[in-house]
Protein backbone atom coordinates (compact mmCIF):
# COMPACT_ATOMS: atom_id res chain seq x y z
CA UNK A 1 0.00 0.00 0.00
CA UNK A 2 1.50 3.32 -1.04
CA UNK A 3 2.16 6.24 1.28
CA UNK A 4 -0.40 8.17 -0.82
CA UNK A 5 -2.96 6.28 1.26
CA UNK A 6 -1.59 7.71 4.53
CA UNK A 7 -4.12 10.50 4.13
CA UNK A 8 -6.86 7.91 4.67
CA UNK A 9 -5.37 7.06 8.06
CA UNK A 10 -5.19 10.76 8.97
CA UNK A 11 -8.85 11.19 7.93
CA UNK A 12 -9.92 8.15 10.00
CA UNK A 13 -8.02 9.43 13.02
CA UNK A 14 -9.52 12.93 12.84
CA UNK A 15 -6.09 14.44 12.22
CA UNK A 16 -5.34 17.28 9.77
CA UNK A 17 -5.32 16.21 6.09
CA UNK A 18 -5.46 17.74 2.62
CA UNK A 19 -8.97 17.17 1.14
CA UNK A 20 -7.48 17.05 -2.37
CA UNK A 21 -5.13 14.24 -1.33
CA UNK A 22 -8.02 12.38 0.28
CA UNK A 23 -10.13 12.72 -2.88
CA UNK A 24 -7.26 11.31 -4.96
CA UNK A 25 -6.72 8.42 -2.52
CA UNK A 26 -10.43 7.55 -2.57
CA UNK A 27 -10.55 7.66 -6.38
CA UNK A 28 -8.41 4.54 -6.20
CA UNK A 29 -10.52 1.38 -5.47
CA UNK A 30 -7.66 0.11 -3.27
CA UNK A 31 -7.97 3.31 -1.21
CA UNK A 32 -11.71 2.78 -0.73
CA UNK A 33 -11.13 -0.82 0.33
CA UNK A 34 -8.48 0.33 2.79
CA UNK A 35 -10.90 2.85 4.31
CA UNK A 36 -13.57 0.19 4.89
CA UNK A 37 -11.10 -2.42 6.13
CA UNK A 38 -9.56 0.09 8.53
CA UNK A 39 -13.00 0.77 10.01
CA UNK A 40 -13.60 -2.97 10.42
CA UNK A 41 -10.14 -3.38 11.94
CA UNK A 42 -10.92 -0.63 14.43
CA UNK A 43 -14.05 -2.52 15.41
CA UNK A 44 -12.36 -5.89 15.96
CA UNK A 45 -9.38 -4.58 17.96
CA UNK A 46 -11.62 -3.15 20.70
CA UNK A 47 -11.30 -5.39 23.80
CA UNK A 48 -14.56 -7.09 24.80
CA UNK A 49 -15.80 -8.58 28.08
CA UNK A 50 -13.20 -6.70 30.07
CA UNK A 51 -13.98 -4.92 33.33
CA UNK A 52 -11.56 -2.18 34.33
CA UNK A 53 -10.51 -1.53 37.96
CA UNK A 54 -13.08 0.73 39.59
CA UNK A 55 -11.01 2.68 42.07
CA UNK A 56 -7.62 4.28 42.16
CA UNK A 57 -4.82 2.66 44.11
CA UNK A 58 -4.39 4.34 47.49
CA UNK A 59 -1.70 6.96 47.12
CA UNK A 60 1.22 5.88 49.28
CA UNK A 61 2.52 9.39 49.86
CA UNK A 62 -0.48 10.36 52.04
CA UNK A 63 1.01 8.34 54.88
CA UNK A 64 4.18 10.44 54.62
CA UNK A 65 2.18 13.65 54.83
CA UNK A 66 0.38 12.43 57.93
CA UNK A 67 3.63 11.57 59.67
CA UNK A 68 5.13 14.94 58.73
CA UNK A 69 2.03 16.78 59.99
CA UNK A 70 2.12 14.88 63.30
CA UNK A 71 5.84 15.64 63.73
CA UNK A 72 5.24 19.34 63.01
CA UNK A 73 2.39 19.44 65.57
CA UNK A 74 4.65 17.83 68.18
CA UNK A 75 7.44 20.36 67.61
CA UNK A 76 5.00 23.32 67.75
CA UNK A 77 3.44 22.01 70.99
CA UNK A 78 6.85 21.46 72.58
CA UNK A 79 8.14 24.92 71.63
CA UNK A 80 4.90 26.61 72.69
CA UNK A 81 4.93 24.87 76.06
CA UNK A 82 8.53 25.89 76.69
CA UNK A 83 7.87 29.54 75.80
CA UNK A 84 4.69 29.76 77.93
CA UNK A 85 6.48 28.17 80.89
CA UNK A 86 9.39 30.56 80.60
CA UNK A 87 7.12 33.64 80.40
CA UNK A 88 5.12 32.62 83.52
CA UNK A 89 8.21 32.09 85.65
CA UNK A 90 8.75 35.21 87.95
CA UNK A 91 12.22 34.59 89.37
CA UNK A 92 15.27 35.03 87.17
CA UNK A 93 16.90 31.65 86.80
CA UNK A 94 20.52 32.90 87.17
CA UNK A 95 20.13 34.36 90.75
CA UNK A 96 19.90 32.55 94.09
CA UNK A 97 16.48 32.55 95.82
CA UNK A 98 15.96 35.08 98.72
CA UNK A 99 16.78 33.75 102.25
CA UNK A 100 13.90 32.54 104.39
CA UNK A 101 15.80 32.71 107.75
CA UNK A 102 18.81 34.82 108.90
CA UNK A 103 21.11 33.34 111.56
CA UNK A 104 23.45 35.75 113.42
CA UNK A 105 26.87 34.26 114.06
CA UNK A 106 28.35 34.83 117.61
CA UNK A 107 32.17 35.21 117.91
CA UNK A 108 33.77 32.04 119.30
CA UNK A 109 35.23 32.29 122.82
CA UNK A 110 37.06 29.18 124.04
CA UNK A 111 36.24 27.90 127.62
CA UNK A 112 38.79 28.89 130.41
CA UNK A 113 39.98 32.10 128.83
CA UNK A 114 42.19 30.52 126.22
CA UNK A 115 44.77 28.88 128.47
Partner 1 sequence: MADSEGLFAAYHHRVFKYFCRAVGHGDTARDLTQEVFLRVSRSPVAVNGDGSAWLFRIARNIVLDHQRSQARHPESSALTDEAARPAHQDVSTAVNAALAALPALDRDVFLMREVAGLGYEEIAEACELTPDAVRSRIHRTRVQLRDQLAAPIATSRTMAATRSERTRKDDQ
Burial class (CB in 10 A: 0-12, 13-18, 19+), 36: exposed
Alpha helices in the chain (DSSP H): 6-12, 19-27, 29-45, 61-88
Per DSSP, 102 falls in state -
Considering only 47, 85, 98, 113, the residue that binds partner 1 (CB under 8 A) is 47
Residue whose C-alpha is closest to residue 42's, from 15, 13, 10, 7 = 13
Contact letters for partner 1, residues 74-103 (x by CB under 8 A): ------------------------------
- Please identify, using beta-carbon distances, which residue of 39 and 84 lies nearer to partner 1: 39
Q: List the one residue from 20, 27, 29, 60 that touches partner 1 (CB under 8 A).
A: 60
Binding site for partner 1 (CB under 8 A): 1, 3, 5-6, 8-10, 13-15, 34, 36-38, 40-53, 56-61
Amino acid sequence: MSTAHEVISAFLDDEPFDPQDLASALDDPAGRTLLIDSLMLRRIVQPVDAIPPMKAAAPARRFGWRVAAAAAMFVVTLTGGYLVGERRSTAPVDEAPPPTRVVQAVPFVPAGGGR
